[in-house]
Amino acid sequence: MTTTVPRRSQKASFRDRLLRLAETVTTPLLPEDYLDLVAPLRAGGALRGRIVEVRPETPDAATLVIQPGRGWRGHTPGQYVRLGVDVDGVRQWRAYSLTSVAGAADGRIAVTVKAIPDGKVSNHLVRRTRPGTIVQLDQAQGDFVLPEATPARVLFLTAGSGITPVMGMLRTGLHTRADVVLVHSAPAAGDVIFGLELRALAGQGGLRLVERHTDTDGLLGVHELDDLVPDHAERETWACGPVGMLDAVEEHWTSRGVAERLHTERFRPTVISPGEGGTLTFTRSGATVEADGATPILDAGENAGVLMPSGCRMGICYGCVLPLRQGAVRDLRTGDLTTAVPGDGVLIQTCVSAAAGTCDIEL
């Protein structure tokens, strides 16, 4: 039987026709512009969420519990969500790991944010956000997740807010299915995000917790792992923390010949070599701006008033990708040069790419 197919398309075209009719009523606005006034979280609208609770975790970290709109498609523990927040009237997008249980009965999700010094968005979220605020959301993304077949032995290596994606995995009951070791670094006991919950879990025998308080004990050296977790090279490992730590960990796992067992999530781009700079032209908006070789194209465009798509601003979420019609850009993390001529259809991440010559960006 093929009846379902035409019926479905009929339904769709009826909806489309209805929508087109509604548009003739509201033009030049769209029906959604009016619906947004009364039902910002409805299905079919732009994905948004309402903050229902702001829960302090440590002196400089807080969990935001969010009721996502009807269009939210759920997440896998370890993934992150892009959050669009208005700070001082300016829409800012950042990516944060989801720390809530996947598929919670009330449909709510949570992210945990650590205020970083001079962090415009993180300080706003931790200290000034009130319940009731509407935020813009994107669907959950990221491949810092557990495989379908849970490995028997797992090691998590985290530092600071690097605990957040791991917490999502633990809260979904990973420790009941696997032998888990968590080695976590924070300046002091009071700075450990989810400290009480982790210690309680360890106390019940759910996991082995190694806390490293770096104010008193110094940074964790990767060589110390041989003593702390003798079987670490045999464990499926997820590491999340500052760049220096991840670089050391990657080198260590590679030298042991087990790089395939290591999964990392990077929070900040590493700037290696600045490009040469050049003139950026945004072909559709017509804006032109001189950008130096150290400024991401995203920042240069925003400063010139171009409405740039953006996301994590650290090269991981691909929310800022735009076609480079022609020109050359340099990846600020690796120093790699990417060039394009018309017709190539080269896509670049504007948040980690700087002009390395004259560039035409399609926007």
Partner 1 sequence: MTVIQKKAVNPVAHLSAEDIEIIGKELDAIRDRVIADRGERDATYIRKVIKTQRTLEISSRAVLLFSLFPPAWFVGTAGLAVAKILENMEIGHNILHGQYDFMRDPKIHSTTWEWDHVSPADQWKHSHNQLHHTYTNVVGKDNDLGYGIMRVDEDQKWHPMHLGQPLWNLLNACFFEYGIAAYDLELGRNLQKGRRKAPEFRARARAVGRKIRRQVLKDYIVHPLLSGPSFLSTLAATFTANLIRNLWSHSVIMCGHFPNGVETFEKTSIEGETRGEWYLRQMLGSANISGSKLMHIMTGNLSFQIEHHLFPDLPSSRYQEIAPQVRALFDRYGLKYTTGPLPKQVASAWWKVIRLSLPNRHTAQPGPAAPALVASQPA
CA 172, 178, 180 angle in degrees (round to 5)? 90
| Nearer Cβ to partner 1 (47/146) | 47
The reply to whether 92 sits near partner 1 by the rule CB under 8 A is: yes
The reply to whether 17 sits near partner 1 by the rule CB under 8 A is: no
CB-based contact 272:351 (threshold 8 Å): no
| Nearer Cβ to partner 1 (19/90) | 90
- Measure the CA–CA gap between 156 and 297, rounded to whole angstroms: 35
Single out the residue of 2, 4, 27, 216 in contact with partner 1 (rule: CB under 8 A): 27
The reply to whether 129 sits near partner 1 by the rule CB under 8 A is: no
Single out the residue of 67, 123, 129, 285 in contact with partner 1 (rule: CB under 8 A): 285
Single out the residue of 5, 88, 105, 106 in contact with partner 1 (rule: CB under 8 A): 88
| Nearer Cβ to partner 1 (159/298) | 298
Q: How many CB atoms lie within 10 A of CB 39?
A: 14
| Nearer Cβ to partner 1 (61/308) | 308
In the bound complex, what is the minimum distance in angstroms from residue 285's beta carbon to partner 1? 6
| Nearer Cβ to partner 1 (203/286) | 286
CA 170, 172, 173 angle in degrees (round to 5)? 70
- Classify the phi-psi angles of 107: left when phi > 0, otherwise alpha if psi is within -120 to 50, otherwise beta: left
Single out the residue of 2, 4, 20, 37 in contact with partner 1 (rule: CB under 8 A): 37
| Nearer Cβ to partner 1 (28/221) | 28
The bridge status of strand 278-282 relative to strand 208-213 is unpaired
The reply to whether 215 sits near partner 1 by the rule CB under 8 A is: no
In the bound complex, what is the minimum distance in angstroms from residue 28's beta carbon to partner 1? 4
Task: List the beta bridge partners of residue 158.
Answer: 184, 240
The reply to whether 117 sits near partner 1 by the rule CB under 8 A is: no
Nearest to 289, CA basis, from 307, 299, 276, 301: 301
Give me the amino acid identity at 273.
Answer: S
- Measure the CA–CA gap between 249 and 221, rounded to whole angstroms: 9
Largest pairwise CA distance in the chain? 71
The bridge status of strand 208-213 relative to strand 236-241 is unpaired
Single out the residue of 10, 14, 16, 86 in contact with partner 1 (rule: CB under 8 A): 86
The reply to whether 334 sits near partner 1 by the rule CB under 8 A is: no
What the block records as the tokens of 193 is 């995000």
The reply to whether 25 sits near partner 1 by the rule CB under 8 A is: yes
The binding site for partner 1 (CB under 8 A) comprises: 24-29, 33-34, 37, 86, 88-92, 285, 302, 305-308
